[in-house]
Amino acid sequence: MVHLDPYGVAGYDFYIDGCADGTWRHEDLPAALPGTGALHASGALALPVPALGAVLDELLTREKPRRVLTFDPNIRPPLIRDEALVRARLTRWLGLTDLVKASAEDLAWIAPGEPVEEVAARWRRRGPAVVVVTRGDKGAYAVGPAGPVDLPGVPVDVVDTVGAGDAFMAGLLAALERAGQLTRPGLAGLSGPALTAALTYAQRVAAYTCGRAGANPPWADELTRHRR
């Protein structure tokens, strides 16, 4: 359930007990995924819900030799009943994935009081080629093979923030794919300007999403027609 504060910032309540999210099984996984495209995992339910997390852990482990893996912890504190389990699974998935995007809100729970730069650098040492942290109106910070990139926020008249993080991640992946860099070699050799360009595109996608009601990201042609 989504609720907005007077400034359009979204809060969420989760009601999952007895629902399908908590009853995933090994047998529910497809025998194979199509093609060689990247696989993205969100931790929102997967990190705190044991059954779902175990099945997705199996999927990520199986697919790691076959494709790029990307991850958004998307921490939801109201769902967390076993903090040790969530932290252990987070650490493991950081070691499995190639690109990680977290928000400042995620880091407030994961590493309260620690500078974004220190957390991003530590996570990157665990295995990801690129670590990105979104900071709302304060912009985005990332560290990649060529070093850190720090971008200011994009001005936007906020209607609501529902879907902003997912829109940012979608924009980032789309930009990297379009540039032919959403591969392990591509990410491992990502230059500072290339990372900056992908982050800039992702910020524009997220800004559009915040500027209208609902989780309603822009079509690609909207970004071409209306440059902000």
46: pLDDT strictly greater than 90: no
What residues form DSSP beta bridges with 221?
Answer: none
Total domains in the chain come to 1
Distances (CA, A) of 48 to 65, 66, 100, 195, 211: 25, 26, 18, 31, 31
> Given the structure tokens 């990307």, which residue do they identify?
70
Query: Within its chain, how far is the Cα of 35 from the centroid?
Result: 22
114: pLDDT strictly greater than 70: yes
**What residue type is 129 in one-letter code?**
A
The domain in which residue 169 lies consists of 2-225
Q: Write b or e for each residue in 88-108: b if 16 or more Cβ atoms lie within 10 A of its Cβ, otherwise e.
A: ebbeebbebbbbbbbbebbbe
- Rounded to whole angstroms, the Cα distance separating 220 from 129 reads 26
15: pLDDT strictly greater than 80: no
CATH of the domain at 152: 3.40.1190.20
Count, residues in the chain: 228
* Residues with catalytic roles: 166
Output Rg (C-alpha) for the chain, integer angstroms: 17
- pLDDT one-digit tens code per residue, 170-221: 999 999 999 999 999 999 999 999 999 999 999 999 999 989 988 889 998 8
- pLDDT one-digit tens code per residue, 67-106: 999 999 999 888 899 999 999 999 999 999 999 999 999 9
Q: Whole-prediction pTM value?
A: 0.90
